[in-house]
Structure 1
Amino acid sequence: MSKIVIFGNSGSGKSTLAKELALKHNLAHLDLDTVAWKPISPPERLPISESGKSINDFLSTRSHWVVEGCYADLLSLVIEQAAEVIFLNLPVNACIENAKNRPWEPHKYESKEAQDANLEMLIDWITKYTARQDTFSKVAHEKLFADFQGKKTMHVSNNQFR
């Protein structure tokens, strides 16, 4: 277990699982949220080429890693180098509950209050996972999972890996 990609809906437990695996197996951890966005408000995606450069810099300097996110376009830049993929394919209601109980993510928000102020938008976003057809959608994640030829696991509950 040295090169792992984790993906799924927002609130599915990607960051939590990635942190657990990184700690347990001494893996470097890349949260794609940190390379996907311009540091402006309102948020705007970086060009894929810029995100790709950051991803390549991360991968080229580490031999053991876990990369996680919901961006199928960015995950496709990483997945060919992965030894294993994990698809957190939880029901939408479980993702919403996880989002409501999420601890403060200081690498994304300046405070817990700022994070909580974004919760209503996040829940709306999570709810649309199965209806979207974009890079963040269930259909995009299902394709990544189906096309991957290595070791792959799908979890439909957080209890499966805790």
Structure 2
Amino acid sequence: MHVTLNEPVERVAIIGCGGSGKTTVGRRIADALGTSITHLDAVYYDDEWNKLPQDKFAQLQHDLVAADRWVIDGNYAGTLPIRLHRATHVVFLDLPATTCLWGILQRRWRYRGGQHADGVYDTINWGFIKYVWGYRKSMAPRVRALLAEHGADARILIAKSRRQANRIADELERAAR
């Protein structure tokens, strides 16, 4: 798969299931753009995993996407249109559940749980595992519908495997430099 990018890479929304590699892909692209990555989990949750009120969460995203350059990783379908309206590129990591669960286990092993240095709080519970397992059936169709409805001005790049995700990241890195 070769991605041809004609438009400048400036604002990238990265979406996908937990464990799909959003942070890894996002870091690569952010480095190439000379910006930092924003993890929506770190915006939405505090140190004790308490949620931000929905209206405040939406307003913070409006503030984030107003910048000229950004990379934002996170699913949050309820506020996805905010990111889609300003994104130049969207990377949708639509990977199999087993791949995502393996990614979660690797992350858990690497960080030993708790809050990561970049603000992402790593928690695994039965509800999260069920969410990951059912993501492609329940959430991915909703994401595709939101992409179709709100992502018309962005270049949509979909990866169905880690290999495709790496190729997309390679292309976006080259285009951003």
- Contact 2:96–2:136 (8 Å) recurs in 1: no
Match of 1:86 in 2: 91
What's the RMSD between the two structures over aligned residues? 2.1
Is 1:142 the counterpart of 2:150? The answer is no
SS at match of 1:101: helix
Which structure 2 residues correspond to residues 70-85 of structure 1 after superposition, within 5 A? 70-85=75-90
Retained in 1: the 8 A contact 2:27–2:37?
Answer: yes
Which of 56, 60, 66 in structure 2 is aligned with 1:50? 56
Where 2:43 maps in the other structure, the secondary structure is helix
Identity across the alignment (%): 23
TM-score (normalizing by structure 2): 0.74
* 2:14 alignment counterpart: 6
- The offset of 1:59, in angstroms, is 2.9
Answering whether residue 28 of structure 2 is matched by residue 26 of structure 1, we say no
Secondary structure of 2:135's aligned partner:
coil
Alignment-derived partner of residue 124 in structure 1: 130
Stretches (4+) displaced over 4 A: none
* Higher helix residue share: 2
Q: Write the distance in 2 (CA, Å) between the matches of 1:160 and 1:154.
A: 8
- Helix, strand or coil for the counterpart of 1:53? helix
In 2, are the aligned partners of 1:12 and 1:88 still within 8 Å (CA)? yes
When the two structures are superposed, what TM-score results if normalisation uses the length of structure 1? 0.80
Q: Deviations over 1:49-96 (max 9, x none)?
A: 101222223233x31111111101122112101111111000111111
Letter in 2 for 1:24: A
Aligned length, in residue pairs: 149
Q: Which runs of 5+ in 1 are unaligned?
A: 110-114
Cα shift readout 1:8-61 (whole Å, capped 9, x = no counterpart): 111111111111100122133211112223x375x443222101222223233x
Give the gaps of 5 or more residues in structure 2. 1-8, 167-177
The answer on whether the counterparts of 2:93 and 2:165 sit within 8 Å (CA) in structure 1 is no
Name 1:17's counterpart in structure 2: 25
